[in-house]
Structures are given as structure tokens and as C-alpha cells.
Amino acid sequence: MSMTFSWISIITGSLIFLAISLKFLFNKVFPRKSNVPTLPRVRTLLPFGIDYITRGIIYNSSNKNLLFWDELFTAHYPFKTLEIRLGPQTVITTRDPENVKALLTTQFGEFGKGERFHQEWKEFLGDAIFTTDGEKWHASRALIRPIFSRERVSDLSTFEIHTQKLLRILDSPGCEQQPVNAFDLCLRLTMDIATDFLLGASVNSLANPADKFTAAFADVQRVQSWITMAGQVSKALPLQGFLFKDTYRNGLDTVNSFVKPFIMRTLALPRDEVEAIARSDKGYNFVTALAAFTRDPKMIRDQLISVLLAARDTTAATLAWTLYELSGRPEIVKHLREEILETVGLVATATYADLKNMRYLQAILKETLRLYPAIPFNMRAALSDTTLPRGGGPQGDLPVHIKKDTLVAYSPLYMQRRSELYPATYPDGTPFPDPSQYTPERWIYSGVAGKESKAANKADSNYNPTVPAQVDNHGVYESGLLSSEAPWIPKPWTYIPFNGGPRICIGQQFALAEMGYTLVKIFQKYSRLERRMKEEDCDVMRANIVLTPARGITVVFLKN
Ligand code: HEM
């Protein structure tokens, strides 16, 4: 037995030695051309970067993606853009806002989701807004844009129906004054709201947690996130074929069979009737709105599922992280309740304008999205041979060539947590709150919130809650703080929870209204939120496409 073991060790050791020697020789024989500015290259020990990939998988499965990025950039400080060769695949990671700006706006046509991403997601999302580039993407965006107009988004009646159901659950015998998993409730709430908005009928997962559609959608998403992660290294390791295709296909069948009748029923209506519904408020939903422009059931299905995917977990996770932070901070809850009391009182329902006028509420949401951006890591592919403005040369500040199909990764999570991107003080010398801390007040003048915020809001002549969201705001989140009186707005392209440029999140205002409405509803009724989590379960961030609390969020909602 021990003889066999030592032979295995000798053979394994020799193979590793051989692989390292071959890699060394390869680098000697094919050195990089020296006259073109190149990016600092991350050294890997084993061929195809297998050591690097393994480390990535281990860090990901132990929820340490942020640490992975931190260690990578710390090891290569002060460089902000790095190149990693994983066999034939080149992946660039950047924390340079100038490069992020190029990816998302100034060189928008040269970087996109890319054909590989499209292929990986095609079965799930088809050829819709989320997975296409160029003309196809443009057509999808134009089709969907009117559905997110201010008039449509400011109708909060769907939120009212489902938040009422949430409150009834919180008041029910098993939950009242008891610890509940707030993340699970947020997922169910956002699923119910999204399906109601999209189909005109909710899956009602708040009342029925075992709902089949919700479970199938979760299965497909889980496998899809593995496929996407494997896709980043798939040229080096062709893993995708092994990834639970049965679960994926069965899940997709369930999802498709659920949405199909809604689409077919709408398409069976005479066109002028569909157009009339799409113009009115009665019976309006995403499917009817799309059916007024296209009679293609697959196109409607693809856009519908894409928007559902984009809308559901992102909003649930942001709401849940907000409740997590608020559960440890009674002073924030107190301020928020004061603002609610002043703006809508404890009984009335908030309007869209009320939500927009509540500066402290908006600051809370901004602060959550700063520390927990729902899409923590993102990626673009070079659609042709092109350049990035920075990263080359000895100082890392020269433009670099980028070959077609190179992947460029950036991380709102990592960037938004870097203290160097924040000022030490406000313009008047008041210290700027520690960027590592959850402090909504940083978004409002000198830490003053509550009463003063409302007065400041009225005085803010640039503030206009009717301004549509879809402006290119240079990566800065729009909600009325882009005014001459704002004491601080993030440096361009350093705060991008909704991305920026032409592909900025189309549902941004919908999401903010949904989260704001839910928080108002909750804190009209409850005055305290207590966290009931073990220390080791707090702040554990799982990053599988969306940044979710890995151990849930266990809290108790208390009335006094
Ligand atoms: C807190 C909640 C949300 C956050 C943080 C968020 C964030 C984002 C981000 C970062 C992107 C860019 C993805 C990329 O291009 O790589 C995006 C795109 C998108 N989002 Fe959101 N989102 C949220 C909620 C919503 C909601 C509620 C909807 C719809 C009701 C929605 C619909 C979309 C769509 C359709 C896209 C694709 C836009 C395009 O490619 O042109 N999102 N979102």
C-alpha cells in the first residue's frame, strides 16, 4: 500500500515538475513583444492557469470572492489593470474607473456581452435584452423602454397588494415577534411583484412557498450561474457539458409551461384589443405591452424571462441587505421612521413622489447599493480588436491593445469598497464618514438627516422627481442628488450599482420604488428590527451572479 502511494507521489511530482518546466520554456521561446505597451501579467504556476482557476473556485465556494480580488490587486499594487492567461483565454481584471467608463460608454460598441455569453445563456434567455449586443440589443431596449416610463413605474398598486401580504405573514402566529428569514421573504415578495407586473398574475409564493415555478426558476438560475462561471475559463477547461443539464432542462420546461398560457391568451386577443389594453391602465402588464408591438411568442417569452431574471434576485438581495444593516442600527431606523411620519404618516400609502422626496430613505438605499451592489462582478468581451485607455507601460497609465474575445472583468463590489476613492472631508472640512461603515448620512449634508433633509430637499432647485431615470449619468446613480447643492457625489464611474451608459439598468426606478415602498410599509408598522444571527453568519456574501447573504438574514420585527 505504502509502495503504491510513494509511486503515485513520485509520478505526480514529476508531472508537476515537467509542466512547470514546459511553461518556463514556452515563455522563453515565445517572449512577449516588447514595443507594444502591455499589461502586468498575473503569473500562474501550472499550465492553463489551473492553479489560479482552482484558487478562484475555492474562494468562490467559501464566499471569499472579495478577498480574492483584494489579494490579486494587493499582490500587484499599484497596478489597476491586470492580465491573466488561462491557456488560450485572456482575462483582464480592472479596478480603474477610466477603463470601466470605456467598457460601458465611450467604447460601448467595442465591448459587449459577447457571442460566448450569448451562447451560454441562449437556452434560458434566448435573444433578448440581456444576452445580445448591437442591433438585436438595441431593438430589445427600444421595445422594453416604454414599459419603464415614469407613468408606468409610478403606479404602485402592485406593490401595495404584495407588501400587504408580506405584513400579514409577519403578523401571523408563527412569525409575530419571532425570528424570520428576511431574505427568503424578500425573494418571495419580489417574485410575486415581478410576476404580477410581467404577467398580470402573481405566482403568489408568499402564500405558497413551495410554488413549483419559483423552485424551477431557482434551479435554472443556479445551474446557469455555474455555466457562466465555467464559461470564463471554458477555453481552458471545457466544463459546461458536465453541469447538471437535466436539472436545467426540467426547470426550463416548468418555467416555459407556466408562462406560455399567459402569452398565448394575450396573442389570441384581436390586435386592436391588445393595443387598447396596452394604452390603458386596466389589464395592462408586460406581456400585453409587448404584444402590442410583436406577435412573436418566443420574443415575448425571452424578454419576459430576461426581465424577471434581472428584476427578482437583485431587488430581493438589496432589500435583504438593507434589513440586515438596519437590524443592527436602531438610530437609522429611528431617523427613517421620523421621515416616514413627516412625509406620509403611519397609515397612508406612499406615492411615487413621496418616495422620491424622502431623502433619508433614498440615502439608505444608496448606501446599501454602495456596500452590497447586487451585481458584484461583471464582465464585457471585446467584440473586435480594440484598446483600453489605461493599464499599459511601466506606470500602468498607457493605452493597451485588446484582442477580440478578450474578457474584461470589473467589480462594483471591490471598487465601491476602496477607501482611496472617497474624500477625507466634505468641501467645508467636515470629516467624511468612514467608507467601510454603513452610513446613509454620507449622502446627505454633513451627516444631518431627518428634518433638515426635507428642508434641504425643497431648497434643492435641481431636484425633480419627474426626471426620467434613463439618463446617462456617467455612472452616477440618479435620484435627485445630482444637484449643485449636493455636498458629495461619487467620482465618475466609481459608483455603478446599476451600471452606466446606454446599458444602464432599465428597471432602476422600478427597483427603487419597490424597495422604498416596502421599507416604508414595514417601518410604518414596526419600530424596531433585531438581528438574531450568530457572529460567523453575519456579512457572509455569496457571489453567484447576484450578491446574496449566504446564511440568510434572521431578524425579528418588533412593534415597540
Ligand atoms: C436593486 C435592484 C437592481 C439592481 C442593483 C440592478 C442592477 C443592474 C445592472 C448592474 C445591470 C447591468 C447588467 C449588465 O449589463 O451587465 C442591469 C441591467 C438590467 N436590469 Fe437591473 N437591477 C435591479 C433591478 C431591476 C429591476 C427591478 C428590473 C425590471 C423590473 C431590472 C431590469 C433590468 C434589465 C432589463 C437589464 C438589462 C438592460 C440592458 O442590457 O439594456 N433591473 N441591472
Mutate to test the pocket of ligand 1, among 138, 314, 496 (most ligand atoms within 8 A of CB): 314
Q: Which atom of ligand 1 is nearest to the CA of 512?
A: 1
Sorted by sequence, the CB contacts under 8 Å of residue 507 that are 6+ apart come out as: 148, 307, 310, 311
For residue 94, the SS3 value is: strand
User: Do residues 402 and 494 both lie within one domain?
Assistant: no
User: Do residues 396 and 354 both lie within one domain?
Assistant: no
User: Do residues 256 and 403 both lie within one domain?
Assistant: no
User: Do residues 77 and 96 both lie within one domain?
Assistant: yes
Q: In the numeric block, which cell numbers belong to residue 284?
A: 395592462
User: Do residues 429 and 484 both lie within one domain?
Assistant: yes
**CATH code for position 162:** 1.10.630.10
Q: Is the CB of 130 under 6 A from ligand 1?
A: yes
Q: How far apart are CA 398 and CA 346, in angstroms?
A: 57
Q: How far apart are CA 352 and CA 334, in angstroms?
A: 22
Q: Which atom of ligand 1 is nearest to the CA of 375?
A: 10
Environment class of 455 (CB within 10 Å of its CB; exposed 0-12, middle 13-18, buried 19+): exposed
pLDDT of residue 176: 82
Residue 166 in domain: yes
- Going from the Cα of 24 to the center of ligand 1, the distance in angstroms, rounded, reads 44
Residue 428 in domain: yes
Residue 22 in domain: no
Could you list the residue range(s) of the whole structural domain that residue 334 is in? 137-376+415-445+479-558
Distance from chain centroid for Cα 40: 28
Q: How far apart are CA 537 and CA 27, in angstroms?
A: 44
Residue 263 in domain: yes
User: Do residues 522 and 536 both lie within one domain?
Assistant: yes
- Going from the Cα of 309 to the center of ligand 1, the distance in angstroms, rounded, reads 9
Do the beta carbons of residue 379 and residue 407 sit within 8 Å? yes
Q: How far apart are CA 477 and CA 493, in angstroms?
A: 10
Nearest residue (by CA) to ligand 1, atom 20, is 505
Q: Of 390, 410, 430, which residue constitutes the final position of a domain?
A: 410
Q: How far apart are CA 522 and CA 340, in angstroms?
A: 11
Q: In the numeric block, which cell numbers belong to residue 57?
A: 473556485
User: Do residues 95 and 179 both lie within one domain?
Assistant: no
Nearest-10 Cα torsion for 344, 348, 353, 359: 30
pLDDT of residue 240: 52
Q: Is the CB of 499 under 6 A from ligand 1?
A: yes
Residue 15 in domain: no
User: Do residues 184 and 217 both lie within one domain?
Assistant: yes
Cis peptide before 78 (omega within 30 of 0): yes
How many structural domains is the chain composed of? 2
Residue 143 in domain: yes
Give binding residues for heme as ranges.
Answer: 505
Q: Is the CB of 315 under 6 A from ligand 1?
A: yes
Q: How far apart are CA 507 and CA 470, in angstroms?
A: 9
Q: Which residues of the chain have pLDDT under 70?
A: 1-36, 231-243, 445-486
Mutate to test the pocket of ligand 1, among 505, 508, 519, 546 (most ligand atoms within 8 A of CB): 505
User: Do residues 511 and 395 both lie within one domain?
Assistant: no
pLDDT of residue 227: 82
Environment class of 539 (CB within 10 Å of its CB; exposed 0-12, middle 13-18, buried 19+): middle
Q: How far apart are CA 76 and CA 95, in angstroms?
A: 12
Nearest residue (by CA) to ligand 1, atom 7, is 498
Say which amino acid occupies 122.
Answer: K
Residue 122 in domain: no
Do the beta carbons of residue 50 and residue 58 sit within 8 Å? no
User: Do residues 91 and 225 both lie within one domain?
Assistant: no
Residue 461 in domain: no
DSSP character for 464? -
DSSP character for 104? I
Element (H, E) at 242: none
- Going from the Cα of 317 to the center of ligand 1, the distance in angstroms, rounded, reads 13
From the CA atom positions of the chain, what is the Rg in Å? 25
pLDDT of residue 239: 52
User: Do residues 499 and 533 both lie within one domain?
Assistant: yes
Nearest residue (by CA) to ligand 1, atom 26, is 311
Say which amino acid occupies 347.
Answer: V
Query: Can you list the alpha helix ranges (DSSP code H) found in 474-552?
Result: 508-525
Helices (H) and strands (E) in the chain, counts: 20, 12
For residue 531, the SS3 value is: strand
Give binding residues as ranges.
Answer: 505
pLDDT of residue 8: 60
Environment class of 237 (CB within 10 Å of its CB; exposed 0-12, middle 13-18, buried 19+): middle
Q: How far apart are CA 105 and CA 308, in angstroms?
A: 25
For residue 72, the tally of other CB atoms under 10 A from its CB is 18
- Going from the Cα of 47 to the center of ligand 1, the distance in angstroms, rounded, reads 37
User: Do residues 250 and 393 both lie within one domain?
Assistant: no
Which residue reads 403578523 in cell numbers? 171
